[in-house]
Structure 1
Amino acid sequence: MEGAAVEETNSKSTSRPSDGRTVEECQDMINRSLKNPTVKFLREHMEKSGCTFGENFIKAVNCKREVSGGYTRGGGIIVCSNHMNLQDEVNQVVIHELIHAYDDCRAANLDWTNCAHHACSEIRAGHLSGDCHYKRELLRGFMKIRGHEQECVRRRVMKSLLGNPYCPEPAARDAMEAVWDTCYNDTKPFDRAP
């Protein structure tokens, strides 16, 4: 998701939110996620594409909206500490948002206000990050034996696109459908979907 859709509260909070982790606990979890093989792989490929990021590229914050995190060109990645409980959740957010950062890096003309561009990166992030693994879907209360992964990616792409003020519902759905095949089958930098 592009940064305009993410609102932050004071990132210096030290009191434990009613749900989730403190910013400090979440930042420790982010630091652990940097050792995750998929995160390391994505970082290497971003660097090979000419994009590097500094120490504060991925940071924990408290978020007002019901989102897990976000990516903003020039601002990096945020992970919403008040919506995180487990290391696996932090790893998933970091991987998902790194795919957006990678897309932004490799596509010089990516325009986050263009619904098709945004949809493509969301399709790729949903498909390649493991967001829609059947175990995660089961924990969310979605049970389907066949076709769950693509259905999940579509649902999550629409949720993200509808948070983009430039993508009202009909335009968002049309954009997603128009780019689906190309973007779903684009697995770069992976050889195939993990």
Structure 2
Amino acid sequence: MTFIDPSSSAEQLEDDKLKSSRRSSSSEDRQWGYDLYPQRRKKSTETHGITSLLDTKGQENISKIKCERTIYKCIKQSPIIKLMMGALKSSGCPVDIRRHISCEECAPTVSGGYDPILNQVVICQNSVHKIGHIQSVLLHEMIHMFDYCRHDLNFKNLDHLACTEIRAANLAHCSFLSAWTQGDVSVFNIKQAHGDCVKSKALSSILATRDVSTTEAIDAIERVFPKCYSDLEPIGRRIRRNSDDMFKAYTEGYYYGYDSS
């Protein structure tokens, strides 16, 4: 927190704020993962040469348009995304896709993110292109948005972060096939394969966006795992690959008061 002398001039106040912002920007960026999403902190005064604009900015704009079109298609056609839109609306947090979802250039290590300050889902236009992948990223980040809306989630609290990452992995990613691919399952541990996959995915998400040790992240996951793993809201079931679970979840959302209009 910055303390300001009330007798200071307006110009001095603004200068102090700017200096304070610059001093804290590195740690704040790391805390919120903004170093992974460079457009979150890009300066509008940035200048480019003609060649740069043609070769880089032009390509970036094409990627952005394609990304936005695919997101729109997901929202209109995907039953699981329509369910999340309805659940957020019914929870008092309606999603305006022009305001709350943004296609951006990101670090190559991530495919999406959730910005709690702007309440905005980020889809990495340089990393995800296929509709299935974008649907998966949208679902993951919208679960974070739902948790932030319903439970006053504090992303600076490692236990809170671990919980929402567990829920996102549980509901959006892990299946028997994905667990096998990640090496989290064998013929001897099929029963616990899904839980192991969820822990592995949650751990990788935490380590990718927060400056904490592996031990700290694992401890947080283990502390909250039983409660957060069993919380299936708002989907109500784990989505199995190549199943009709998404359609069932969407149909059942009506019974829980989720607005599907």
TM over 0.5: yes
Stretches of structure 2 lacking an aligned partner (at least 5 in a row): 1-30, 43-55, 240-261
AA partner of residue 174 (structure 2): C
Measured after TM superposition, the shift of residue 133 of structure 1 is 2.3
AA partner of residue 37 (structure 1): P
Measured after TM superposition, the shift of residue 90 of structure 1 is 0.3
Indicate yes or no: 2:223 matched with 1:178: yes
Indicate yes or no: 2:78 matched with 1:42: no
Counterpart position of 2:131: 87
AA partner of residue 151 (structure 2): A
AA partner of residue 102 (structure 1): F
For 2:193 and 2:206, locate their aligned partners in 1 and report how far apart those are by CA, in whole Å. 20
For 2:220 and 2:237, locate their aligned partners in 1 and report how far apart those are by CA, in whole Å. 24
Indicate yes or no: 2:85 matched with 1:31: no
Measured after TM superposition, the shift of residue 142 of structure 1 is 6.8
Which of residues 122, 125, 143 in structure 1 aligns to 2:168? Answer: 125
Measured after TM superposition, the shift of residue 3 of structure 1 is 4.8
The question of whether the paired residues in 1 share the 8 Å contact of 2:162 and 2:221 is answered with: yes
Q: How does 1:1-194 map to 2 (within 5 A)?
A: 3-4=33-34, 6-9=36-39, 13-15=57-59, 22-35=63-76, 36-54=78-96, 55-73=98-116, 74-108=118-152, 110-129=153-172, 131-137=173-179, 144-145=186-187, 146=190, 147-165=192-210, 167-194=212-239
SS in 1 for 2:103: strand
For 1:144 and 1:26, locate their aligned partners in 2 and report how far apart those are by CA, in whole Å. 36
Q: Residues 2 and 132 from structure 1, CA distance in 2 versus in 1: closer, same or farther, beyond 3 angstroms?
A: farther
Bigger Rg over Cα: 2
For 2:213 and 2:75, locate their aligned partners in 1 and report how far apart those are by CA, in whole Å. 35
CA RMSD, 1 decimal = 2.6
TM-score between both structures, scaled by the size of structure 1:
0.85
Cα-to-partner distance string for 1:93-129 (whole Å, 9 max, x where unaligned): 0001000000000012x11011110000000000011
Stretches of structure 1 lacking an aligned partner (at least 5 in a row): none
For 2:219 and 2:183, locate their aligned partners in 1 and report how far apart those are by CA, in whole Å. 27
The question of whether the paired residues in 2 share the 8 Å contact of 1:162 and 1:172 is answered with: yes
Measured after TM superposition, the shift of residue 57 of structure 1 is 1.2
The question of whether the paired residues in 1 share the 8 Å contact of 2:70 and 2:134 is answered with: yes
Q: Percent identity?
A: 28
TM-score between both structures, scaled by the size of structure 2:
0.64
For 1:27 and 1:83, locate their aligned partners in 2 and report how far apart those are by CA, in whole Å. 14
The question of whether the paired residues in 2 share the 8 Å contact of 1:126 and 1:156 is answered with: yes
Q: How many residues align?
A: 188
For 2:79 and 2:57, locate their aligned partners in 1 and report how far apart those are by CA, in whole Å. 30
SS in 2 for 1:186: coil
The question of whether the paired residues in 2 share the 8 Å contact of 1:69 and 1:79 is answered with: yes
Task: Give the number of the structure whose residues are more often helix, by fraction.
Answer: 2
The question of whether the paired residues in 2 share the 8 Å contact of 1:38 and 1:95 is answered with: yes
